[in-house]
Structure 1
Amino acid sequence: MRFVLAIVAFVAAAVMIAVGIAQRTVFAPPSQVAVSTTVKGDPRYIVIDSTVLNSHPGQQTLAVSGAADVKTQVVAYGRTADVTSWLGDETYTSIGYDDATSVLTTKTVKPKAADSDGGSKPTDSSTTSPTASPTATPTATPTPSASSPATADGKTAEKAGPNPAGSDLWLEEFDGADATLTRMNVPDGISVIISSDGAHAAPNEVRLVWPLDTSTPWSTPLIYGGLGLLVVGLALYLWGLYKLRKSRGPRRKGGPKMPKLPKAPKYKPSKAVETTPKGRRSTRRAMVAVPVVLVGALALSGCTTNLLADPKPTLTKTATPIATDLPKAKDVLPPAVTVSQLELIMKRISTVATAADAKSDSKLLATRFTGPALQLREANYAIRAKKSDQAALPAILASPLKVALPQATSTWPRVVTTVVVPSDTKLAPIALALVQETPRDNYLVNYAVSLEPKAKVPDLAPASIGAPIVRPDSKLLTLPPQDVAAAYGDILMNGDKSKYADLFETDGDTLRTQVGADYKAKMKAAMPATASLTYASQAGPADPIAMATNDSGALVWANLTETDTTKVVEAGAEVNLTDANGPAAALLGAASSKTGIQTTYGYQLAFYVPPAGSDAKITLLGFAQGLVAAKEVQ
């Protein structure tokens, strides 16, 4: 029997090991799913929607080829709505996926005219165009121009489209050789755009690969189980051999047989032993077991009764359903940027700012700065060109980002607020307000201020949600955002006598100490009798920016312009600048004037404005100020 069991174990072990190895070799599943297509028509833009990218689970690997110049090819991905808005009225090819045949499909999309928010409504090129009315005027044939050169066959060449490289809309971008093979794991609502430089056709060979689960969970147990069973079979075989050899040992033959043992007498009970007790004692002994059995039965029956008494318990209080309607996902506006996207934007801005500051290159600076921030830095470049010892403005660092507050919106323009904290504790944190005017524009720095030492940034919405923009004329704040700059300018002019003095916090306001009413009074007192000094301030030309805080207040960015005018009031007198080698002299090109000098200072201001009805005061969070112009007046 042992040999039979051993043979069965050997056979079972061989089958298990063979099946386990076959699962890893012969019957192993494919490691990936791959589909590819060649896009015809030489489109400049190819879009792959997230529904295609997520046709199979797992990380997507995208391979592109066929570009005229590999250095110009671009593969980027972003929100589907952002990709569509960036394309605008540009014709593109949309790649789909046929689940039935597992092949990629292509469709040419010709968007309609762009909407007012910068987006567009795509339409399939196969749809029939509306028929023109009889009174419609035919469109004139465009005349070939420099942007639309005529080809050899007389046709007009297509105008070059926009280049997607370097756009701030993309969550991630791959350029040049890096775009040939990219791996990504995009969620729903994300699309991939494939392009060249906008003037040439995009790479038309597209291949998508998804990994498949090649794990064989039963392979290892089968192999190890087969090996274990092999050991068991071997043990049984050796045991059988041992028993067989032992049973074949030396035996004695012949001789007398052993006598049989005598049988023992049968037992017979005597009359003195009674098998069944009788009388009163026997009754008592029999009654002893009855209560014990009865108590056990009652205990069990009692438990059963409690369990089955009420199988459907009655609720003591009826729950009231929640009547509040939760917002649907489609009704929630997305944040303008993600944190990783903002980090990439800040790296680009920092790179441009560093290069522009080193070379005093205003043109380069204008690619990433605008408004008050651009004006102040350009003036600093002009001063440093004539005054080499003039200090540069604080550098714009890329990281670390302490605050990231994007606007919650799906339209344009878009606003993002961020705070960069330098690793050097001697340097003040820099707060910036970035604005993107259209989908094809990059974010530009409108405001860049140094935070006050005692500044406390109010509670803000998380970056994953974003904050709404507050209207400039909003009455829900202590002061409408459009009036904050002028009100603060009045305080710098009149100090505590200003009608707005009670609305603003004085503690921690270092700008008021530097150029406030007391400073201006001292400057007037030091002016000689032959000249007069007057001050004037007004809100700057840039529109204020206000973003809501969690307490219904707002972060308000505003700019202020202040002019100092010194005039000669006595014939033959002359106005001399206090610092003959200072910034004003550098911009003016002279240190004195026989008529008068007017200097203009620009102020970038960041405030926290509390909600209307609050006891809190408007607080200056940070500022940047400097000379922006100087001229001689008559």
Structure 2
Amino acid sequence: MRFVVAIVLFVTAFVAIGVGIAQRTVWAGPDSLTLTADTDSAAVLTLLEGSVLNAHEGRQSVEISGSEQVAAATGRTDDVLAWIGDARYNRIDIDPETGEFVTEVVEGSELQVPPITGSDLWLNEYTQENMLTFAVDVPEDYSMIIAADGAEPAPSNISVTWPLDNSAPWAEPLVIAGLTLLLLGLAALIWALLHLRRSRGPRRKQPRLPKPPRARRYKPAQRAMTSTGSGRRNMIATPVALAGLLAIGGSAIVATPATADPVGAASAGETAAPEIELPPTAVTESQLRRIVANIGQTVAEADEERDLKLARGRLEGAALQFRKASYEIQEEDDELGQLPVIPQRSVKLTLPQQLSLPAQGETWPRTVFTIVQDGSEESAPPVALILVQRDPRSQYKVHFAITLEPETVIPDVAPPTVGAARLPEDTKLLAVAPKDLAAAYGDVLLKGEESDFAELFDLTDDTLLPQIGVEQKDKREKKIPETAEIEFSNAPGKSETIAFATNDAGALVALAVNEKETVRPVEEGAAVNPDGAVKALSGKKQSTKGITATYGNQLLFYVPPVTEGGKIQLLGYSTSLIAASEVG
């Protein structure tokens, strides 16, 4: 009987181990799924939407070929479609019946497009010659755009591979159970061998004492029947146990892991809280870091070569006006016209514009407020940049580059994932409407505390006012000889005023104020002799008519809400000569 138990344990162990190994080898399914699309149209773009890329779970491995230059990029679906615009493109989808890729051509009036590489809309981009292979994990609301160079047809061969879960959850338990049973079988075999050896050894019987004779009676032999019955029960129980173990192993072959309930699904009797859909933002933090690095590098190259055309690719408005004048001054004198560099890294604050919901349509232009600092120099002052993107295919350009005071405290603003609303210039929710702020501060610069607007501003912490305010103007006037006169005036700059909402219902407002300083001779035969940057920019060594110099001021203010009654604070400024000419 003990040998039978050992044999049953051995058989069950081998079956369990065999089934476990088979689940990982011969019965294992494929470890990946690949779908391929072949396009033969002349369209220069191909679109792979997020719903297609997420048709199966797992990280997507993409392989693209079929053109000399291969480029791909990922971005929010709405941004990708906005960049495509009216261009003709291939759209790849999945056939619900066959599960294979199908391609359709979406007609459009634009047959050629600019290269897709380098766009500020993309979260990631990839480029390679002949064949491009990369792995991504594209979210549901993001899509992929594929192109060659924008003029040639898009790459014709596209394949996407997803990993498949071919794991066998019962394989390891079965192998462990089999090994355990194998050890038990060995133990049972050793036990049986020892018992057999003891049962065959010599036996010594004690002599029996004589017994008196007694009458014999007939009695049925119950012992033999009991022994036989017990053996049959053991023999029946063993196949039953074997069948049970085989049933467990067999079920493991066809069993699949139970599908978990969807995350966030409400159980019976419970009501799921409604999810609040947040509007998208103009950029993500990773996008902004890449954009700022590109801007800093481009402007540095433009500064080195004094290349205004290159600078126009990343500068606009007051920031471009400063650079244009600086390059012209440096052409005359290398020691003059230097401007602070725009840091390429160390983004300290990211405040993108909060856009409309996709159902309401995307908004352009888009605006971003950010603060950057040169990480290599701890003493370098932080710089506030106001970036504007005019349309989907344009790059973000710096409209304002404003140097902040080292101890400047920026009011609390929303996190980058939420963003802030860009306020209209005529909003009535602030202490002063953004469109009126430049004229009000300009009046304070001319009149000081006697200005009607002086009480609106916190002048005690204003570090610009002592440099160009009314007291400084009085000192300038006293230095002018009696043969000449000086006149001061100012006006809002041509750059648009940009206001971002803060958490306390106030606003960060960036604007430009241009100040003019005109010096004229008042006696016959007298002349004005400009010097320094004014001389270099005007191109005049002497003038009997007079010289007008225009200084640009890029200013950043915090404007409190109209209900709070607080004062407007100057957070930072940048000042530079932007024009000089002879009085006409």
Scaled to the shorter chain, the TM-score interval is: 0.7 to 0.9
Tell me, yes or no, if structure 1 residue 592 matches structure 2 residue 542. yes
Rounded to whole Å, the distance in 2 between the matches of 1:390 and 1:568 is 26
Rounded to whole Å, the distance in 1 between the matches of 2:196 and 2:96 is 66
| One-letter amino acid of the counterpart of residue 440, structure 2 | A
User: How far off is 1:58 after superposition?
Assistant: 0.7
User: How far off is 1:527 after superposition?
Assistant: 1.0
Rounded to whole Å, the distance in 1 between the matches of 2:413 and 2:276 is 23
For 2:328, the equivalent position in structure 1 comes to: 382
| One-letter amino acid of the counterpart of residue 378, structure 1 | K
CA RMSD of aligned residues (A): 2.0
User: How far off is 1:574 after superposition?
Assistant: 2.1
The normalised TM-score by structure 2 is 0.86
Cα-to-partner distance string for 1:330-388 (whole Å, 9 max, x where unaligned): xx421111111111111211110111112111110100100100010121122122222
For 2:267, the equivalent position in structure 1 comes to: none
Rounded to whole Å, the distance in 2 between the matches of 1:225 and 1:429 is 66
Compared with structure 1, are the counterparts of its residues 399 and 250 closer, same or farther at alpha carbon in structure 2 (3 Å cutoff)? same
| One-letter amino acid of the counterpart of residue 57, structure 2 | P
| One-letter amino acid of the counterpart of residue 45, structure 1 | L
Compared with structure 1, are the counterparts of its residues 528 and 326 closer, same or farther at alpha carbon in structure 2 (3 Å cutoff)? farther
For 2:95, the equivalent position in structure 1 comes to: 98
For 1:52, the equivalent position in structure 2 comes to: 52
User: How far off is 1:534 after superposition?
Assistant: 0.6
Tell me, yes or no, if structure 1 residue 484 matches structure 2 residue 430. no
| One-letter amino acid of the counterpart of residue 85, structure 1 | A
For 2:484, the equivalent position in structure 1 comes to: 531
- Aligned 8 A contact 1:50 1:186 in 2: yes
Compared with structure 1, are the counterparts of its residues 216 and 159 closer, same or farther at alpha carbon in structure 2 (3 Å cutoff)? closer
User: How far off is 1:260 after superposition?
Assistant: 7.5
For 2:76, the equivalent position in structure 1 comes to: 79
Compared with structure 1, are the counterparts of its residues 599 and 259 closer, same or farther at alpha carbon in structure 2 (3 Å cutoff)? farther
User: How far off is 1:411 after superposition?
Assistant: 1.1
Tell me, yes or no, if structure 1 residue 505 matches structure 2 residue 458. yes
For 2:524, the equivalent position in structure 1 comes to: 571
- Aligned 8 A contact 1:31 1:211 in 2: yes
User: How far off is 1:110 after superposition?
Assistant: 2.4
For 1:611, the equivalent position in structure 2 comes to: 561
User: How far off is 1:391 after superposition?
Assistant: 6.0
For 1:456, the equivalent position in structure 2 comes to: 409
| One-letter amino acid of the counterpart of residue 192, structure 2 | G
Tell me, yes or no, if structure 1 residue 363 matches structure 2 residue 306. no
Q: 1:397 aligns with which of 340, 343, 353?
A: 343
Where do 1:310-325 residues align within 5 Å?
Answer: none
Cα-to-partner distance string for 1:288-328 (whole Å, 9 max, x where unaligned): xxxxxxxxxxxxxxxxxxxxxxxxxxxxxxxxx99xx9785
- Aligned 8 A contact 1:74 1:179 in 2: no
SS at match of 2:291: helix
Q: 1:200 aligns with which of 152, 155, 160?
A: 152
Q: 2:368 aligns with which of 416, 420, 429?
A: 416
- Aligned 8 A contact 1:455 1:508 in 2: no
Q: 1:540 aligns with which of 483, 488, 493?
A: 493
- Aligned 8 A contact 2:65 2:130 in 1: no
User: How far off is 1:196 after superposition?
Assistant: 1.3
Rounded to whole Å, the distance in 1 between the matches of 2:502 and 2:131 is 40
Rounded to whole Å, the distance in 1 between the matches of 2:459 and 2:80 is 47
For 2:294, the equivalent position in structure 1 comes to: 348
Aligned residue-pair number: 519
For 1:334, the equivalent position in structure 2 comes to: 280
For 1:291, the equivalent position in structure 2 comes to: none
For 2:353, the equivalent position in structure 1 comes to: 407
Rounded to whole Å, the distance in 1 between the matches of 2:488 and 2:323 is 23
Compared with structure 1, are the counterparts of its residues 521 and 407 closer, same or farther at alpha carbon in structure 2 (3 Å cutoff)? same
Q: 1:428 aligns with which of 381, 402, 418?
A: 381
User: How far off is 1:592 after superposition?
Assistant: 3.0
User: How far off is 1:40 after superposition?
Assistant: 2.0
Q: 2:573 aligns with which of 593, 616, 623?
A: 623
- Aligned 8 A contact 2:71 2:127 in 1: yes
| One-letter amino acid of the counterpart of residue 94, structure 1 | R
User: How far off is 1:111 after superposition?
Assistant: 5.0
For 1:37, the equivalent position in structure 2 comes to: 37
- Aligned 8 A contact 2:88 2:111 in 1: no
Compared with structure 1, are the counterparts of its residues 376 and 250 closer, same or farther at alpha carbon in structure 2 (3 Å cutoff)? same
User: How far off is 1:95 after superposition?
Assistant: 0.5
User: How far off is 1:159 after superposition?
Assistant: 5.4
- Aligned 8 A contact 1:455 1:620 in 2: no
Compared with structure 1, are the counterparts of its residues 59 and 594 closer, same or farther at alpha carbon in structure 2 (3 Å cutoff)? same
Deviates more, 1:439-448 or 1:377-386: 377-386
Rounded to whole Å, the distance in 2 between the matches of 1:219 and 1:454 is 64
- Aligned 8 A contact 2:434 2:509 in 1: yes
Compared with structure 1, are the counterparts of its residues 587 and 187 closer, same or farther at alpha carbon in structure 2 (3 Å cutoff)? same
| One-letter amino acid of the counterpart of residue 608, structure 1 | Y
| One-letter amino acid of the counterpart of residue 471, structure 2 | D
User: How far off is 1:588 after superposition?
Assistant: 2.1
| One-letter amino acid of the counterpart of residue 17, structure 1 | I
| One-letter amino acid of the counterpart of residue 544, structure 2 | K
Compared with structure 1, are the counterparts of its residues 259 and 53 closer, same or farther at alpha carbon in structure 2 (3 Å cutoff)? farther
Rounded to whole Å, the distance in 1 between the matches of 2:466 and 2:306 is 31
- Aligned 8 A contact 1:453 1:508 in 2: no
Rounded to whole Å, the distance in 2 between the matches of 1:382 and 1:479 is 36
Rounded to whole Å, the distance in 1 between the matches of 2:516 and 2:61 is 60
SS at match of 1:56: coil
For 1:520, the equivalent position in structure 2 comes to: 473
Deviates more, 1:388-397 or 1:498-507: 388-397
User: How far off is 1:462 after superposition?
Assistant: 1.2
SS at match of 2:504: coil
- Aligned 8 A contact 2:508 2:557 in 1: yes
User: How far off is 1:392 after superposition?
Assistant: 2.8
Rounded to whole Å, the distance in 2 between the matches of 1:502 and 1:256 is 131
Rounded to whole Å, the distance in 1 between the matches of 2:563 and 2:405 is 26
Cα-to-partner distance string for 1:482-513 (whole Å, 9 max, x where unaligned): 11111111111111111111101113321111
Compared with structure 1, are the counterparts of its residues 458 and 422 closer, same or farther at alpha carbon in structure 2 (3 Å cutoff)? same
Rounded to whole Å, the distance in 1 between the matches of 2:327 and 2:457 is 33
**Structure 1 gap ranges (5+):** 113-157, 262-320
SS at match of 1:510: coil
The sequence identity of aligned pairs, in percent, is 43
For 1:8, the equivalent position in structure 2 comes to: 8
User: How far off is 1:210 after superposition?
Assistant: 0.5
Rounded to whole Å, the distance in 2 between the matches of 1:391 and 1:542 is 21
User: How far off is 1:94 after superposition?
Assistant: 0.7
Compared with structure 1, are the counterparts of its residues 252 and 602 closer, same or farther at alpha carbon in structure 2 (3 Å cutoff)? same
- Aligned 8 A contact 1:29 1:214 in 2: yes
The normalised TM-score by structure 1 is 0.79
Rounded to whole Å, the distance in 2 between the matches of 1:486 and 1:246 is 115
- Structure number, greater radius of gyration: 1
Where do 1:219-238 residues align within 5 Å?
Answer: 219-238=171-190
User: How far off is 1:183 after superposition?
Assistant: 1.2
**Structure 2 gap ranges (5+):** 213-269, 356-361
Rounded to whole Å, the distance in 2 between the matches of 1:589 and 1:101 is 75
| One-letter amino acid of the counterpart of residue 389, structure 1 | E
Compared with structure 1, are the counterparts of its residues 178 and 168 closer, same or farther at alpha carbon in structure 2 (3 Å cutoff)? farther
| One-letter amino acid of the counterpart of residue 549, structure 2 | T
